[in-house]
Amino acid sequence: MTKPLNYNKWKKIEVSDDEDDTHPNIDTPSLFRWRHQARVERREQRLEEQKDHEKKHKELLERRKKFNEKLKKLENEKGDVSTLKSEREALEKEELEWKNKDDEIQKQERIRPLDVDDLTHEGKSKTSINKKVTEDRPQNMTEEEQAEYYKKFIDKHRDNVKKYGMFRNYDDTQRFLEEHLELVCEETANYLVVWCIDLEMEEKHSLMEHVSHQTMIMQFILELSKSLKIDPRQCVRPFFQRMKTADEQYKQGFFDELSAFRERVQTRAKQKLADAIKEYEEEERQKRLGPGGLDPVEVMESLPKELQECFESRDVAKLQEVLSKMPREEASQHLDRCIKSGLWVPNAKDAAGDGEDEEEAENAAASEPTSDEKVTEDVGKLNVGQ
C-alpha cells in the first residue's frame, strides 16, 4: 500500500500576522481581535479601491465609445476631425494613467503576503460553484459505495482527468480546473496516483514525472481544504496564487513532497511488478502440477543427477537401470514423486491402446520380476519434453 502523504507541516500556513509573538502582559485575545479588525479594514479599503478602479474603467470605455462615434460621424460628414484633438489627447492621457495604475495594482497584489482571510476569501473575484453542474460528493459512504462511486466518476470524467494530467504550466492548469471544478476531489487524485504507478511499470519515466507533478497539485489543494475545513473547490485559486507568488518556502515544500511521492511511486511499481511476476509463476506452476499435485519442475530439480539425465534423454532403459541400482525404498520414493508430478506416466502403453504394446506388456507380465525389478513395475512413458 502506498504510504499516505503527510502535509501536517503545511497546516499552519505562513501568514503575514505574527499572532504567536505576544508579550505575556498583553491580553492575547484582545490583540487578536484588534489585528483581525485591522485586516478587515485593510481588506475593505483594498476592495473599495478596486471597485473605484473598475468603475473608472467602465467610464473610460463608455467615453471611448462615444468619442469613436463622434469621430466616425465627422469622417462620414467630411467634417474637421482636428476639433477633436484636445478631447482625444485628454482621453488617451486618462487611459494611460488608468493602465499604469492597473499594472501597479496587479503588481502589489502579486507580492502582497497572504493572510488567513485570503485563504477563504477572494481578493478580486469569487469562485462560484454551480451545483446544477457540479454535484457534491456523497458523505459517509461504505467501502462498497466508495468503490462504486469511484468507478462511475472515472467512467464519466476519465478523459478530462487525463487531460488535466497533461497540462504543463500553472495558468493552464488553474484555468482548466476552474472550468471543471467537479475534478477537484479525492477520486481524481486517486486515479492520478494509479496512473503514475502504471506509467512507471511501463517504464515511461518522463511521463510519470510529468503526471506526478499534476497529481501533487491536486493533493495540495485537497490538503489545503482539509486544513481550512472548506470545500476543496474553493481552494483552487488560493493554491495557485500561493505557487505563483514569491513564497519560496511553500514552493520548496511542494517540490520536496513531489520528490518523495515519485520515490514512493517507483517503489510501489517495483513491488507490483514483483507481485505480478510471482503471480504469473504461481499460475504457471498450477498448470504444471501433475495428477498427484506435485510440480514436475520442482521434482526434476530434486532428483539425483543420474535420474535427471535419464529424463532429459528420455532413455527408459537407462532409467530402469539407475533405479534398479538404488535401494528399493529410495527408488520407490523417487518413482512415486515422478508419477505424482506427471514426469512418469505408468501403464502409458496400455492406456494408448496399442496392440503391439499390449502384447509386450502381456509377455512382460508372464515372467515374475526380481526384487530389484519391482521398482520398474509401473513402466510407462517419460513425460519430459512432451
| Percentage of residues of the chain with pLDDT beyond 90 | 22
Q: Is the pLDDT of residue 358 over 80?
A: no
> Of the candidates 32, 12, 34, 37, which has an alpha carbon nearest to the alpha carbon of residue 22?
32
Q: Is the pLDDT of residue 124 over 50?
A: no
Using one digit for the tens of pLDDT, what is the confidence trace for 73-93?
888 888 887 888 888 888 888
Beta bridge partners of 346: 380
pLDDT of residue 125: 47
At 370 the three-state DSSP class reads coil
Query: Looking at 27-31, 167-171, 238-242, 361-365, which range is the least confident one?
Result: 361-365
Which of 79-103 are b and which e, b meaning 16 or more Cβ less than 10 Å from the residue's Cβ?
Answer: eeeeeeeeeeeebeeeeeeeeeeee
pLDDT of residue 301: 84
Q: Is the pLDDT of residue 327 over 70?
A: yes
pTM, two decimal places? 0.48
CB 340 within 8 A of CB 295: no
Question: Where do we find the cell 473599495?
Answer: 48
Q: Is the pLDDT of residue 302 over 60?
A: yes
pLDDT of residue 310: 81
pLDDT of residue 109: 65
pLDDT of residue 351: 47
Q: What is the mean pLDDT of residues 250-271?
A: 90
Q: Is the pLDDT of residue 218 over 90?
A: yes
Using one digit for the tens of pLDDT, what is the confidence trace for 26-75?
455 565 566 666 767 777 787 788 888 888 888 888 888 888 888 888 88
- In the chain, where are the structural domains located? 143-284, 296-382
CB 257 within 8 A of CB 222: no
pLDDT of residue 133: 42
288 against 357, higher pLDDT: 288
Question: Where do we find the cell 519434453?
Answer: 385
Q: Is the pLDDT of residue 380 over 50?
A: no
Q: What is the mean pLDDT of residues 210-233?
A: 92
Q: Where are the alpha helices (DSSP H) in the chain?
A: 28-76, 85-111, 143-165, 170-179, 186-201, 205-228, 236-244, 248-288, 296-302, 305-313, 316-325, 328-341, 348-352, 355-366
CATH of domain 143-284: 1.20.58.610
pLDDT of residue 373: 41
Query: Looking at 245-249, 255-259, 264-268, which range is the least confident one?
Result: 245-249
> Of the candidates 70, 66, 58, 124, which has an alpha carbon nearest to the alpha carbon of residue 95?
58
Over the chain, what is the mean pLDDT?
Answer: 76
pLDDT of residue 177: 94
pLDDT of residue 296: 83
Query: Looking at 129-133, 183-187, 351-355, 364-368, which range is the least confident one?
Result: 364-368
Q: Is the pLDDT of residue 246 over 60?
A: no
Q: What is the mean pLDDT of residues 4-18?
A: 47
